[in-house]
């Protein structure tokens, strides 16, 4: 499922407001700044910090 490029342009990471990329093979939205990964459900990106998968090796406490 391809997401609308215009939709991706307006999406930002809710945690750090960085730019995000759609990883089609993982069916996820990944923040290019902090590395958090957001799920895509039924073609809809779930841009919620509490739904995000934090990247391995993230510094504790930010
Ligand atoms: Zn981020």
Give the model confidence (pLDDT) of 6-42 as tens digits.
888 899 999 999 999 999 999 999 999 999 999 999 9
Q: Give the DSSP letter of residue 3.
A: P
**Ligand 1 center–CA 52 separation, angstroms:** 10
**Ligand 1 center–CA 18 separation, angstroms:** 5
Give the model confidence (pLDDT) of 38-48 as tens digits.
999 998 899 99
The pLDDT of residue 6: 86
**Ligand 1 center–CA 25 separation, angstroms:** 20
Residue 61 binned pLDDT confidence (cut-offs 50, 70, 90): low
Strand ranges in 1-62 using DSSP code E only, listed in sequence order: 20-23, 28-31, 37-41, 44-45
The pLDDT of residue 60: 66
Core vs surface per residue 26-46: b (16+ CB within 10 A) or e: eebbbbeebbbbbbbeeeebe
The pLDDT of residue 14: 96
Q: Rounded to whole angstroms, what are the CA distances from 40 to 12, 24, 56?
A: 14, 10, 20
């Amino acid at each position: 499922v391809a997401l609308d490029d215009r939709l991706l342009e307006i999406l930002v990471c809710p945690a750090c407001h960085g730019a995000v990329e759609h990883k089609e093979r993982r069916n996820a939205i990944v923040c290019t700044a902090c590395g958090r990964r957001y799920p895509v459900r039924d073609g809809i990106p779930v841009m919620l910090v509490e739904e995000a998968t934090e990247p391995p090796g993230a510094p504790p406490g930010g």
